[in-house]
Amino acid sequence: MDAGERTYCDYNATAPLRAEAARAVVEALARVGNASSIHREGRAARAALETARSEIAALVEADPSGVIFTSGGSEANALALSPGFRRMGEPLRDLLLVGAGEHPCVLDGHRFPAEAVERIPLDAEGRADLAWLAARLAEGERDGRRALVSLQLANNETGVIQPVAEAARIAHAHDALIHSDAVQAPGRIAVSIRDLGVDALTLSAHKIGGAPGAGALVLASEGYALDRLIRGGGQERGWRAGTENVPAIVAFGAAARAVREGLAEEAALLARLGGAFEDAIRRTAPGAVVFGAGAPRLPNTILFAVPGLKAETALIAFDLGGVALSSGSACSSGKVGRSHVLDAMGVDPGLAEGALRLSCGYGTREDDVIRFASVLEDVEERRARRSKAA
């Protein structure tokens, strides 16, 4: 391998721009026209935007009328996680139950008062405790509380796939609504809003190879009310004001189509490469712990730790060796700190401080596994020498 090449294993933070999305951005930037204008140029921009809306709806088997474009996943989550998200004619929601391992934009980005928010516990494998959820919803129902549940489809750090469909059945049995942050799932597993049974889900363009700056909140049907986050003009049927970012949205649509059409091939690739990466970890560092190994996980995601190896030291060594990893969520201002997800799973703090996340994707190849294994071997040898000297 060329020493100047890089191995990018941080797809869960941002996936590389797909060729289809890059072409769509360039073509859209070359056109003029506001999608709200009625002249020919405006109508052309509107047509491109609506084509993208249809592609994104098709990706998750939704109706295009339910797709609301936003600036990204964080805004889409904030739009949904409000007391004002309810069925038409119903009173406001007054209880928010969120998974303890949710992304920070769910844990901290909602619009409920702090005293109205509770966290759904995780088990040792990182799965939400649905017995706890059912009991809490039943208790809230007896007290006259109207709940909203938010449970991510797949964890961004561990890759653990949550039992969202079962959670939705429980929620609806207690007259609660349920939202799912699904940004990590498309392109790795099939996603259907109908099969999941959720009332709304969140998508993000840059997680699937689109351009940053576009996301979507997808509603399961008409008949919902939302408390608008951004007020102003009548864009997005009045749900989200502001001139639409047509180039990013068009690229989002192109990426969504590529994901949908290539899902079987890409899922097989990720399963093969994910297995190869995990084999390399276990072979090179026999003492390594893979978090969530006993639960269903995304095929592209491995969160692991080698006892005695600190994440910050390892990340620098991997970066110098040409491999890009992370220590968890990329939305923590670049800090390397202990994962709240692992804390919720009851992982020993010393081990959690060494957690490294590897996430591959559609551009990953066998050579990347070889480079990663080579750098890991060097890192492990240096760690073993330090441990022996101590």
Residues annotated as catalytic (active site), given as ranges? 331
Q: Determine the Cα angle at 39 with ends 33 and 45, to 5°.
A: 35
Side by side, the strands of the sheet bearing 215-219 are: 67-70, 215-219, 200-204, 177-181, 147-150, 95-99, 117-120
Tokens describing residue 324? 């890009």
Rounded distance, CA 179 to CA 217, Å?
10
Paired strand residues for 161:
154
Tokens describing residue 142? 């007896």
Rounded distance, CA 272 to CA 60, Å?
24
Side by side, the strands of the sheet bearing 356-359 are: 289-290, 301-305, 356-359
Rounded distance, CA 197 to CA 172, Å?
9
Rounded distance, CA 115 to CA 212, Å?
33
Paired strand residues for 304:
290, 356
Q: Are strands 147-150 and 177-181 parallel, antiparallel or unpaired?
A: parallel
Cβ pair 148, 123 in contact under 8 A: no
Cβ pair 359, 300 in contact under 8 A: yes
